[in-house]
Amino acid sequence: MSHRQIYLGIAGLAMALIGLGALWFPVYLDQFDIYGMKVNCGNGIGATVVQTQVEGETAARCGTALLVRRLWSIPTVAIGWVLVTAFVVMWVRDEHREDEPAHYVPHPEIAGPTTGWWTGRRS
C-alpha cells in the first residue's frame, strides 16, 4: 500500500468526521430571545425551533441558517465517504494481489525455448 492511498484514507476520514460534526453541533442565530439567550435553531440533522414558533422572521432566519449548514456539511460527508470507500477498495485489491503466489518456474531450461520463429523473436 502506497503513502498516497493512506493519505487518501486519512483525508476521507477527516472530511467525513468534520461534516458529521458540523451536522451534529447546534446552529445558533446571532440574535437573542426575550430572555437574553441566543436563538437555537437545532442542528443540521433535525430542526428543533421551539423559540421561533412565535416570530415568523426568526423562523425564516433559522431555516436559512440550517440550510447553509447543510449545504456545505452534507457534501463534505459524501466526499469523505467516497474517499474512504476508495481507500478500502484499493486496500482490499492490493491485499488480494499480495496473496497470490508468484509464478515460479524452477528450471527455465525445461520450460522451452523463448526465441524462435513461433514467438516472433529471434536470437
Mean pLDDT by 10 residues, the chain (123 residues): 88 96 91 82 76 69 90 96 94 72 63 59 56
pLDDT in tens, 7-38: 999 999 999 999 999 999 998 888 887 788 88
Among 109, 27, 33, 34, residue whose Cα is nearest residue 66: 27
pTM over 0.75: no
Return the amino acid letter for 37.
M
How many Cβ atoms are within 10 Å of 116's Cβ, its own excluded? 11
Ramachandran region of residue 112, left (φ > 0), alpha (ψ -120 to 50) or beta?
left
Which sequence spans correspond to the domains of the chain?
Answer: 3-101
Cα–chain center distance at 80: 1
Run of H or E including 58: helix 56-99
